[in-house]
Amino acid sequence: MDWSMGGYGFYVWGSYLCSFVVIGLEVFTLVKRKRACAHQSKEDRPKSSHSPQTGVPRLVDNRN
């Protein structure tokens, strides 16, 4: 493989770099959000409000 991409390296590698940086940022922010959710869930909810089978929080139906 020609790493210089026949003189188009900036455009080709720039495209992939930009794409994977953006994808990486999405994954990073999602992991942060997931951790924050798990942390908040532990702080906010008493043990009894979690399902004994799955350990997931029991949901409150906020719709009438």
Contact residues for other proteins, defined by CB under 8 A: 1-2, 5-8, 11-12, 14-16, 18-19, 22-23, 26-27, 30, 33-34, 37-38, 40-41, 44-45, 51, 54, 56-63
C-alpha 49/C-alpha 61 separation (Å) is 14
Which lies closer to other proteins via its Cβ, residue 1 or residue 47? Answer: 1
Which lies closer to other proteins via its Cβ, residue 16 or residue 47? Answer: 16
C-alpha 42/C-alpha 34 separation (Å) is 12
Helix (H) or strand (E) holding 8: none
